[in-house]
Amino acid sequence: MKAITASSGAASSASSVPKFLSHVKYEHLIAGIAGGVVSTLVLHPLDLLKIRLAVNDGQKVRPNYQGLVNTITTIAKHEGVKGLYRGVTPNCWGAGISWGFYFLFYNTIKSNMTEGTSTTLGPARHILAAAEAGILTTTITNPIWVVKTRMCLQYGTIAEMQNLPPSKRYSGMVDALRKVYKFEGVPGLYRGYVPGILGVSHGALQFMAYEELKRYYVDKHNLESDGKLGTMAYLTCAALSKLFAASITYPYQVLRARLQDQHSSYNGVIDVIRKTWRFERLGGFYKGLGAYLIHVTPNICIVFLIYEKLSPTTTQSKSFNRGYVEE
């Protein structure tokens, strides 16, 4: 009798959980955080180079970098090796939280979409799931990315930075968050939010391509739909999907970095676009692309590989089931 009561109590408890929460699996959160933090620690200097080149608009307040190699040598000469790791703390926080929430939201949304059916999603629904996950993640993490960008754009030695007004001189992540909020309010913490939302298309295209490449690989090699793939298969799918998305959407990275830059004062996205086109033409929208590709290709490979190895195997069956939803 007690067993029956306990069983019915457990069933009642489970039924009291909201339907959409029943698909939440926190293993995706942990796997995403692990992948994001590890990749960021290894590759942060390349991310810093991309940001500095992206905002390199000729202002006297910053060094005038002449390409990737010149940027590295200039930073090492004037700021030391530590200069290459400016902003690494908020970058690790941002990457860990972003990838953790992204994978959590993405897989939860996919599970809700496929509930009650044995079929998997097609490209259009993969894009929709990734876009929804991207908007939620961007809204949560934008303040961290503002702080990361600003700390990466603190040029020169500590003594040289004393020339900056106190509101734009940051001693660390918490100090930057406090000062941005104090002097610029909530809007300051959400600078670059609009390009970030536009950048959701990047993640949507990337995840759609990644899912389709994995499905193609499984079909081509007649693999079991509920199994893990090999390391090289994951790396290849991750790299190709990132290059595909980056080649289409990179300009939003430049717009976001310039809006978040504490040394510039643009009046919104349209103002950035207008001034970049006026003074730098089309090339201005692709500044830092080389550093970005060198950074994100190994970055995404590390993130996806760690995620796939740590995530539950059951997700594979949802992704690779050979059934297909009509779009």
Sign (positive/negative) of CA torsion 150, 153, 156, 160? negative
pLDDT surpasses 50 at 1 = no
In terms of Cβ atoms closer than 10 Å to its own Cβ (0-12, 13-18, 19+), residue 123 is middle
Domain map of the chain by residue range?
Answer: 24-320
Beta bridge partners of 120: 324
pTM: 0.72
Look at residue 10 and tell me whether its pLDDT is greater than 90: no
**Most confident among 5-19, 199-213, 217-231, 265-279 (mean pLDDT):** 265-279
Stretch among 49-53, 247-251, 309-313, 315-319 having the lowest mean pLDDT: 315-319
Residue 112 has a pLDDT of 86
Summary mean pLDDT of the chain: 82
* pLDDT tens-digit map of 140-161: 999 999 999 999 998 876 556 6
Task: In whole angstroms, give the CA distance from residue 267 to residue 82.
Answer: 33
pLDDT digits (tens, 9 = 90+) for 190-205: 999 999 998 888 888 8
CATH code linked to domain 24-320: 1.50.40.10
* pLDDT band for position 12 (cuts 50, 70, 90): very low
Q: Give the pLDDT of residue 200.
A: 86
What pLDDT is stored for residue 228 in this prediction?
76
Q: So what's the pLDDT on residue 19? A: 52
Nearest to 263, CA basis, from 93, 51, 73: 51
